[in-house]
């Protein structure tokens, strides 16, 4: 397969304002989250139906509780659903007990909703904690979508990488130490990338220093086209993946929906490209790439 494109939908909605975007005390911002669930989700579903694309949705437990009918429509349309925290909490700010409690709750919640366990997880704000990998393995999650060691190929994630921060109060030799690689796991990683995310450039957040919120959608469209074109020209023989992250909060807006229509139509002019789910990528990678010897495997895997 020369190339596979993926659309991942993070249903941050109100949870995003509660856990990451600084709008937890703003009725106005919360109303934007409600719009994402009640208007943005149906619009994206209609877009995917138009093109016959099956996608992967990562859903905070808060969004599943708040928008049960909309999420049922996602499920019933055959899209994959994975984990994304409860209130889009930053895992690096949580204790291991809090992380475990959230994982246990949302895993059971999504399992009941789907009638089967979820296989994939995305750390809110892509801020994976030091303990997060092992927690996912213990729960039997088979793939993750939170790290950036690669960009166009899946790989097996390591656990326990460590590095030395600079301490200007000490001698320089104390911090001149390379990264220490951790131990291999059997958790498949499908990398994320901020350049393939619709939210930072196209959603206004009052308290975020890096957000612009008003970038012309054509600029993002051209960036994504350039990204795909490079992979098509240089990595087609070995096969490549291009996972794009969108949010109903952003891509449910009319101008971004039009951009996505143009982009999908353009990608489809490349013969042999497929639109697939994240689980399809993870399963295919695992089938063709045995896990490292003695790697810690997800619970239930041998």
CA distance 133 to 297: 11
CATH number for the region 12-196+274-288 comes to 3.20.20.370
* Mean pLDDT, rounded, for 210-223: 90
* Mean pLDDT, rounded, for 130-149: 97
In this structure, what are the phi and psi dihedrals at residue 121, rounded to the nearest 5 degrees? -145, 145
**Percent helix, strand and coil across the chain, each to the nearest 5:** 45, 15, 40
pLDDT tens digit string along 16-32? Answer: 999 999 999 999 999 99
State the pLDDT confidence band at 150, using cuts at 50, 70 and 90. very high
Nearest to 66, CA basis, from 104, 40, 38, 101: 38
Q: Are strands 56-59 and 80-83 parallel, antiparallel or unpaired?
A: parallel
The pLDDT assigned to 209 comes to: 75
Q: Are 243 and 190 in contact (CB under 8 A)?
A: yes
Our measurement of the distance from residue 181's CA atom to the centroid of its chain's CA atoms, rounded to an integer in Å, reads 24
Q: Checking phi first, is residue 85 left (phi over 0); if not, alpha (psi -120 to 50) or beta?
A: left
Q: In the predicted model, is pLDDT for residue 1 greater than 80?
A: no
The pLDDT assigned to 210 comes to: 73
Name the residue ranges covered by the structural domains of the chain: 12-196+274-288
State the pLDDT confidence band at 302, using cuts at 50, 70 and 90. low
Answering whether pTM is above 0.85, one says yes
Q: In the predicted model, is pLDDT for residue 152 greater than 80?
A: yes
* Mean pLDDT, rounded, for 293-298: 94
Q: What percent of the chain is modeled with pLDDT above 90?
A: 95
The pLDDT assigned to 127 comes to: 95
CA distance 261 to 263: 6
In this structure, what are the phi and psi dihedrals at residue 145, rounded to the nearest 5 degrees? -145, 65
DSSP secondary-structure letter at 283? H
CA distance 11 to 22: 17
Our measurement of the distance from residue 242's CA atom to the centroid of its chain's CA atoms, rounded to an integer in Å, reads 12
SS3 244: strand
CA distance 100 to 139: 10
Number of CB atoms found within 10 A of residue 206's CB: 12
pLDDT tens digit string along 89-122? Answer: 999 999 999 999 999 999 999 999 999 999 999 9
Number of CB atoms found within 10 A of residue 92's CB: 14
């Amino acid at each position: 397969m020369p190339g596979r494109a993926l659309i991942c939908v993070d249903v941050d909605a109100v949870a995003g304002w509660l856990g990451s975007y600084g709008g937890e005390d703003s009725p106005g911002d919360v109303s934007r989250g409600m719009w994402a669930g009640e208007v943005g989700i149906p619009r994206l579903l209609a877009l995917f139906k138009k093109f016959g694309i099956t996608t992967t949705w990562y859903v905070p437990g808060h969004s599943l509780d708040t928008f049960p009918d909309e999420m049922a429509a996602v499920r019933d349309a055959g899209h994959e659903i994975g984990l994304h925290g409860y209130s889009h909490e930053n895992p690096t700010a949580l204790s291991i007990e809090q992380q475990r409690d959230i994982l246990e709750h949302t895993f059971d919640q999504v399992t009941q909703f789907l009638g089967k366990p979820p296989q994939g997880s995305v750390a809110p704000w892509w801020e994976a904690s030091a303990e997060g990998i092992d927690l996912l393995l213990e729960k039997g999650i088979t793939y993750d979508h939170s790290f950036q060691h690669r960009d166009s190929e899946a790989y097996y994630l390591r656990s326990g990488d460590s590095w030395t921060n600079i301490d200007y109060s000490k001698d320089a030799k104390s911090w001149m130490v390379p990264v220490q690689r951790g131990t291999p796991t059997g958790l498949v990683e499908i990398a994320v990338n901020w350049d393939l995310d619709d939210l930072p450039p196209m959603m206004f957040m009052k308290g975020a220093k890096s957000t612009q919120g008003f970038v012309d959608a054509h600029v993002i469209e051209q960036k994504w086209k350039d990204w795909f074109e490079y992979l098509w020209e240089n990595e087609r023989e070995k096969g490549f993946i291009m996972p794009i992250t969108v949010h109903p909060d952003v891509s449910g807006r009319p101008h971004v929906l039009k951009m996505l229509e143009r982009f999908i139509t353009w990608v489809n002019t490349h013969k042999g490209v497929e639109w697939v789910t994240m689980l399809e990528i993870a399963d295919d990678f695992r089938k063709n790439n045995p896990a490292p010897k003695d790697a810690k495997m997800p619970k239930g895997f041998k």
